[in-house]
Amino acid sequence: MNFSFENLEEIFKQINAYEIKSSDDLEQFRIKFLGTKNVIKPLFGAIKDIPNDQKKNYGQEVNSLKSVAETRYEEVKTHLDATQKSKAIADLDLTLPGEPLNMGSQHPVSIMMNKIIDIFEKIGFAVAEEREIEDDWHNFSAMNTPEDHPARDMQDTFYLMDSTKYLLRTHTSSVQARVMTTQKPPIRIIAPGRVYRNETISARSHCQFHQVEGLYIDEKVSFADLKQTLLYFAKEMYGENAKIRLRPSYFPFTEPSAEMDVWLGTETEKTYRLTKGTGWLEIMGCGMVDPQVLVNCGIDPEKYSGYAFGMGVERQALTKFDIGDIRLLFENDVRFLKQFSTVI
């Protein structure tokens, strides 16, 4: 082959005249002029055989040939891409029904929990989140439930393997101990979170569920403060006409202790069923923080008093959304979950 300047001229013409109408043509062009075995490559190899006085000139020409091919390739490619795009747009049938948008939805437990948080944040409670793996002291001892205390049998505990010290918290009351040992009064917190108990799983109970704990410690906190706060909560959650009832009860960490019921009535079949014909639904335990708990956590009971409450989230979610089986809340079946909107 004769590597003359005419030869370069010929390839130059070929590059410019190459007919490219489709992306297939473009690919052929690329293979011929820019691919691994392209026609320009051997010309570089020939530089060494060119007489010295022409070498520089020749080299420059070969190089510019390469960039001409590259430029043409890029230009045509940009043009083809743009045409393809506008063709796709022109082909769009705007009268066709749209693809369904699969929006995510919030889990009913989250909806309920966020609503509870909102209600208490409005009156100045801060959210305290704590660990689910707790030690025995925060979950039980600090909360006035020493080892031999019969109240420990009230809650079937999951202990961590080979440990009597670490456990999955059985209630969010453990957060009370966490907060009281690290913060100074006044304390006004709610603690939402997951808790665990070794219970047989059924339509009505599960081995994992959620609670929201409340704690208010300050000077001169009274039972009347507790009652008004809970009435406010019931009205926000169950409507302006909501009524509450406090029944005397027992918890090791409160004295006096109570259980709170909210009035749903018996008018509908649903409320009759949920309240077992009484009209009342039990939603939380509460009481005045036992002075011994304050002492355990390093707070002076002569100066401070407080109230606490702990409510279950699932039972309220089942009521609110009319769900018949608690297990549905933990099975992550999308057909079930997508039914819930975030508005309640």
Identify which of residues 62 and 293 has a Cβ nearer to ligand DAH in the complex: 293
CA 301 to chain centre: 39
Q: Does 306 bind ligand DAH (CB under 6 A)?
A: no
Identify which of residues 104 and 150 has a Cβ nearer to ligand DAH in the complex: 150
Residues 121-180, interacting with ligand DAH (CB under 6 A): 171, 173
Identify which of residues 72 and 197 has a Cβ nearer to ligand DAH in the complex: 197
Identify which of residues 58 and 309 has a Cβ nearer to ligand DAH in the complex: 309
Identify which of residues 108 and 214 has a Cβ nearer to ligand DAH in the complex: 214
19-58 mask for ligand DAH (x: CB under 6 A)?
Answer: ----------------------------------------
- The token pair at 73 is 């390739």
Peptide bond into 42 cis (omega under 30): no
Residues 226-285, interacting with ligand DAH (CB under 6 A): 251, 254, 285
Question: Tokens 């961590």 identify what position?
Answer: 160
Identify which of residues 33 and 196 has a Cβ nearer to ligand DAH in the complex: 196
Identify which of residues 185 and 287 has a Cβ nearer to ligand DAH in the complex: 287
Give yes or no for a contact between 304 and 218, defined as CB atoms under 8 angstroms apart: yes
Give yes or no for a contact between 67 and 49, defined as CB atoms under 8 angstroms apart: no
CB of 99 to ligand DAH, least distance (A): 46
- The token pair at 323 is 């769900």
Q: Does 286 bind ligand DAH (CB under 6 A)?
A: yes
Angle at 68 between CA 64 and CA 72, to 5 degrees: 170
Identify which of residues 22 and 228 has a Cβ nearer to ligand DAH in the complex: 228
Question: 3-state class of 3 per DSSP?
Answer: coil
Helix (H) or strand (E) holding 221: none
Contact region with ligand DAH (CB under 6 A), list: 30-38, 102-110, 263-271, 305-313: 305-313
Question: Which ranges in the chain belong to alpha helices (H)?
Answer: 5-17, 23-33, 41-45, 52-91, 108-121, 136, 173-180, 223-238, 269-274, 291-296, 314-321, 334-337
- The token pair at 267 is 């008018």
Q: Does 190 bind ligand DAH (CB under 6 A)?
A: no
CB of 258 to ligand DAH, least distance (A): 8
- The token pair at 230 is 């809970």
Contact region with ligand DAH (CB under 6 A), list: 13-21, 63-71, 105-113, 308-316: 308-316
CB of 276 to ligand DAH, least distance (A): 20
Q: Which CA distances in Å does 173 have to 64, 118, 128, 188, 210?
A: 79, 20, 12, 14, 12
Amino acid at 138: H
Residues 206-235, interacting with ligand DAH (CB under 6 A): 213
CB of 308 to ligand DAH, least distance (A): 3
Q: Does 308 bind ligand DAH (CB under 6 A)?
A: yes
Residue selected from 309, 315, 317, 318 as contacting ligand DAH according to rule CB under 6 A: 309
Could you tell me the strand order of the sheet in which 126-127 lies? 126-127, 187-196, 208-218, 305-312, 280-289, 254-263, 244-251
Identify which of residues 40 and 258 has a Cβ nearer to ligand DAH in the complex: 258
Rounded-to-integer distance, Cα 74 and Cα 85, Å = 17
Q: Which residues bind ligand DAH (CB under 6 A)?
A: 171, 173, 213, 251, 254, 285-287, 308-310
